[in-house]
Amino acid sequence: MRIIIAGSGITVYFLAKRFISKGYQISIISPENVDCDYYARNLKALIILGNPSDPELLLQAKAYEAEIFVGMTPKDQDNLVLCQMAHEYYQIPRILAVVNDPDNEAVFKKIGVKAISNSRFLIETIESMSALDEIKQQISVVEGKVMLTELEISPDSRVAGKKLQEIDIPYSALVATVLRQDEVIIPRGNTVILPGDRILLISLPDNHAMALNIFS
């Protein structure tokens, strides 16, 4: 399977390196001469120097045999054009764009392109960290539509000693598990949250910060 990556920077390098280790054939189109030189010396991939929006370069990148196209340029509008070209000119079946402005995700979705915003995840993480220092681990799943957060209940938390049914948790959030020392508890409404408990909180992004604040 061939994957085409359009963009520059260290993220492109590590992404390509990971795919290569899994046996994929990789083409990289980058406008940066220094980056192309680095990729060529360190990756077993087809490296093409030039403007990724040039249809001729897509042809050189073997777009006609590609299964996946990833647009990772610094400008969302360029990624949009690239994704449209990959779809319309070469009918690449799976197309993904990394967008910088979270508000642009909807634009890509309208043309059938999956978009991932690192900025959105970073914003949500910073907001969560500023609200709650007890976060142990946090990940975004289902293309950023669901947040999974593991956090520890501190002794001075407002929910310590309360039953779940007494806690005003947003409708779009739930406590999936409670880890109490070595015991894993599937919580019910009458489960009491104790200091030192580690809980797994599942929430939607829109109410994620609100849900975390409740357990602070």
Select from 3.20.20.70, 3.40.50.720, 1.10.760.10, 3.90.105.10 the CATH code of 2-117.
Answer: 3.40.50.720
Give the pLDDT confidence of 33-85 residue by residue, as tens digits.
Answer: 999 999 999 999 999 999 988 889 999 999 999 999 999 898 888 999 999 99
Q: Is 80 exposed, middle or buried (0-12, 13-18, 19+ CB in 10 A)?
A: buried
- Rounded Cα distance between 155 and 193, Å, is 11
- Given 3.30.450.20, 3.40.640.10, 3.40.50.300, 3.30.70.1450, which CATH number is that of 132-214? 3.30.70.1450
Domain boundaries, the chain: 2-117, 132-214
Q: How many residues are there in the chain? A: 216
Rounded CA gap, 132 and 97, in Å?
A: 31
pLDDT of residue 132: 47
The confidence band for 143, taking pLDDT boundaries of 50, 70 and 90, is: low
What are the residues facing 68 on neighbouring strands?
Answer: 3, 94
The Cα 202–Cα 211 span in angstroms is: 9
The mean pLDDT of 167-181, rounded to a whole number, is: 86
pLDDT of residue 11 exceeding 80, the answer is yes
Is the pTM above the cut of 0.85? no
Cα 64 from Cα 91, distance rounded (Å): 8
